[in-house]
Every structure is written in C-alpha cells, then in structure tokens.
Structure 1
C-alpha cells in the first residue's frame, strides 16, 4: 500500500486505489477540504450551464403548471433565472453538506465498538471523500445538459438522483423520493465500506452493514412516509 502524496493525488486515488486514499487522509484529515470544495463548487458550473441552455419561457410555464397542480401557490417573480439558479445551487450545497455531516455522525457512532477510536473530525474527512463521486454525477449532468436538444426540467437534468433517469414531473407523488435517492449510492456504499474496513477492526460482514444501513433506511423509511401521507 502506497499512501497518497498530496490531496490532489488522494482525489485521484479515490478512483483508482481507495485504500491508499483513506490511509493517507487518516494521517492528514485536513486534506478533506479539497474534495469538499469540489463538491460544493461543481453545482455552479452545472446549473449555470442548464439555465443558459433551457428555454426560460417553457421552463416558467411548466413550473407554474406542475406546481399549481400540486397545490402550491407560486409567484411569477420567484421563477426568474437568477432566483432559480440560486435556489438550485443553494439546495445542492446545503443538501451535500448535510449529507456529509450526517454520514460522519453515523460512522462515528456506528464504529464505537471497534478497538480503534477515531474522532468525529476524522470521519468527517472520510465522508468528504466518500461523497466525492457526486462530482462525477455533476459532470454527467453537465454533458447531458449540453448535448440534449430537448428542454428538460431541473430535477430531470440532475443525473445524481434517480429522477434523472425516471424524469417524473414535480407534481408526481414519488418525485420527492426519486429526487432524494442518489443514483451513485452503490459507489458511496463501496467507498464507505473501504473506509470502515481500513480504519476499524470490524470483519467484512459488520463493515458492509455499517456501509449499507443508512442508505437502506432511506430507501425504506422514505417510501413508507409517502404511502402514509
């Protein structure tokens, strides 16, 4: 095993040799600042590109139709280009940040029983790298936006979520669920497993459970809440 030499090599190693990446950031958790910057800056490129390519008149009319059918009162002033861009970027930055902090909390609590004790800060660093594939999803979304000749809704343009494939309208009862479910969840689970296996004395079965359980709970609890509602 060869530890990553710097934070930029660590980002590359996450793709080609995750074990080397996690071994390095265990020693240098401050490196996590680089992947976090990538995660929160990439939505700017994606959404500016989207709103530069989409027909704004079509988008405004479609949003008004779908959200009005959904029982929501929408002011025309809320559907300007600047407001919509700001909303999408803020949503991505906030959502990704919360996901990183919650994942770190889960890893910190779920690994308390292992012999090696790690601080919340170290798991926070690991979580920043675990969520880095979001950037790959942004690149795929950007490519989809640039080469797609048809108008598509924002929640259908974002290939980070399941709705990027299903393309359900905003007034569909399952849109909130499909928009929340990350399409790259298997990749996140694999990276989480690698981090847990590298940093703890858990056996393979226990490491897999720790890695998969938070995503599994999301897939179970969220649909139940929709059905009950």
Structure 2
C-alpha cells in the first residue's frame, strides 16, 4: 500500500484508507499537526454559529432552573460560548495526549518503536472524525432553527441524543461519551496494525481498552456514589 501523497489527501485517507494515512505519518510526522489544527478550530466555528443562531433569551430561561443563582448571574452569551469552546478544545487535546501516552506505553513490547509525538499524531487522526460530528451538529442546528439546548447541541456526544439536563447525574458522562467511539477504536486498531507487528486481537485490545476502561470506571463511580 502506498502512503498518502500529500497532507490534504491524508485527511481524506483517514476515512477511505487509514493505513495509507498512517504510512504517510510514519514518513512525515509533522503532517499529524494538520488534523489536530482542524480539531481545535472546528469548535470555534460551530459554537460561534450556534450563538449567532440561538435565541439567547430562550436559552437562558431554559437554563435558569438548572443553575444555581451565582452561576446564572454570570450567564451571558460570550461567557457561555467561551466555556463551550474551551471545554471542547481542552477535552480533545487531553484525549489526544492520553491516547498518545497509552499507545506509547502499550506498544513497548513491539520491535517497532515510535516516539510520543508520533503517537500524538496518531491520536489526532483517531479523533479527527469529531470534525464531521461538528458539521452534523451545525446541520442539526439549522434544521431545528436554533431551538437546541447548549448541552444537547453537540452530536459528537451521547447527550446529543439523550438530551439529559445539567441536573441529571449522568449528564456530564453522556456529554463526554463520544457517539463515534466505534470509529475511534477502528482507527486506533489501524494505527497499531500499521505501525507494529502485533496480531489483530492484540491491536484491537490495545485500541479499545483505554476507552472501555475509562467510561466503565466512570459509570461505576456514578452508580455507587
């Protein structure tokens, strides 16, 4: 298989031929910054569009029963938009860092060793489909004429479907849980399969374990607390 021929083709190959994408990253690790830049720019575009379209008086009225008086007193469109953008950027960056740390650690037994930053590039590729989720969220926002609560606007998350209010103990969990998780696992599996000699079973376990372990522990914590 031939690697992606240029950075733009590499982004397309994330969806049509992940192995070609990872072969290109193996040869040109700096290309990994491109999907990361898209991942941190798309929240600005989506949330900027959201707060341009949504009726903020309607939104604040609906949010008031879910916030304490101190939080509601600080509520305005700019503050809420900044909060959502920062939350997405920080969340995506931490996820990529943790994936890079995990894959770097989990593949230590491989005879093909890759540095942390190469795995960081792989983490950016693994989570890149979130950009499509942002586009889907924008399309949904237009179809609903802005009548979407901020905590249910992001279709990358399970709460985009469940629409649990902020007062629900599962709201934060659902807002964090990615609907595209199976896709992320497949892309992680492709990275391990392309860059190491591990068999399919090992690659699948390495790819799935951090996601399954993290959300399982979180769910158990909510249940017992």
Aligning the two structures, in what range does the TM-score lie when normalised by the shorter sequence? Answer: over 0.9
Structure 1 stretches of 4+ with a deviation exceeding 4 A read: none
Matches of 1:75 and 1:20 in 2, distance apart? 49
TM-score, structure 1 normalization: 0.95
- 2:93 corresponds in structure 1 to 97
Unaligned regions of 5+ residues in structure 2, if any? none
Per-residue deviation, 1:150: 5.9
- 1:142 corresponds in structure 2 to 138
- 2:109 corresponds in structure 1 to 113
| Contact 1:4–1:24, Cα closer than 8 Å, also in 2 | yes
| Contact 1:130–1:188, Cα closer than 8 Å, also in 2 | yes
Matches of 2:191 and 2:66 in 1, distance apart? 42
- Give the counterpart of 1:123 among 106, 119, 124: 119
Tell whether 2:81 aligns with 1:85.
yes
> RMSD in angstroms over aligned alpha carbons?
1.2
- 1:12 corresponds in structure 2 to 12
Matches of 2:113 and 2:175 in 1, distance apart? 35
TM-score, structure 2 normalization: 0.97
- Give the counterpart of 1:74 among 71, 76, 85: 71
Unaligned regions of 5+ residues in structure 1, if any? none
Tell whether 2:164 aligns with 1:168.
yes
Per-residue deviation, 1:149: 3.1
Tell whether 2:182 aligns with 1:182.
no
How many residue pairs get matched? 225
SS in 1 for 2:71: coil
- 1:158 corresponds in structure 2 to 154
Per-residue deviation, 1:61: 1.7
